[in-house]
Amino acid sequence: MTVPELLRRSVKGLKFLAGSLLAGYCLWLAFRPVEIVAVHKRNSYSHILVKNYPLTNKGKVHWWLKNKDMLKEKYDVPGTGKDGFFEIIFWYFGDGYVETDGYDRLCFDDLEPPLNCIDKDKAFTVWQDRYKNTVVIFRDGQYRLSEKGELIKYQ
């Protein structure tokens, strides 16, 4: 076997190995379990801090729909107001609780300072109005959730 043939085979092997590693990493990202780190509530507003969200907006909504009964049972979320309104904000937990920067961090009154804040990195928001319309908000826009669980983008 000549040197160029050996090099071609080695490059093919390295490409296959790199592709396999990338595919394995993508599968791990897609199937890792979502971890609820903490829930903070204030009236009809709930903040849920989570690690390992699904990567897509559709995946995040699917996760919420699949787990909303568990969130109600385990954390009493959402806390609905008298008029039926609620808002749930799902945050990426990132590096964990940090000290206030006095400017742009979200701090929770139910935790003792100094480590009672998070960096504001919102995954998505779900809210319901008094007419029972459910709206899901992502960085790329607002969607109404149909009775079938479909997202319909507001224009």
Peptide bond into 78 cis (omega under 30): yes
The two three-digit tokens of residue 144, written as one number: 């109404």
pLDDT value at residue 116: 95
- Are 153 and 142 in contact, with CB atoms under 8 Å apart? yes
User: Which amino acid, 57?
Assistant: N
* 74 and 142 both lie in a single domain: yes
User: Which amino acid, 81?
Assistant: G
Tell me the pLDDT tens digit for each residue of 49-100: 999 988 888 889 889 999 999 999 999 999 888 888 999 999 999 889 999 9
Q: How confident is the prediction for the chain on average, in pLDDT?
A: 86
Assess whether pLDDT exceeds 80 at residue 10: no
* 27 and 46 both lie in a single domain: no
8-state DSSP, 2: -
pLDDT value at residue 11: 67
Assess whether pLDDT exceeds 70 at residue 115: yes
Q: How confident is the model at residue 150 (pLDDT cuts 50, 70, 90)?
A: confident
Q: How many CB atoms lie within 10 A of CB 116?
A: 18
Cα 111 from Cα 117, distance rounded (Å): 9
pTM: 0.81
* 78 and 27 both lie in a single domain: no
Range of the domain at 83: 35-153
pLDDT value at residue 101: 87
* 52 and 104 both lie in a single domain: yes
Assess whether pLDDT exceeds 90 at residue 132: no
Domain count, the chain: 2
Highest mean pLDDT among 14-18, 23-27, 109-113, 149-153: 109-113
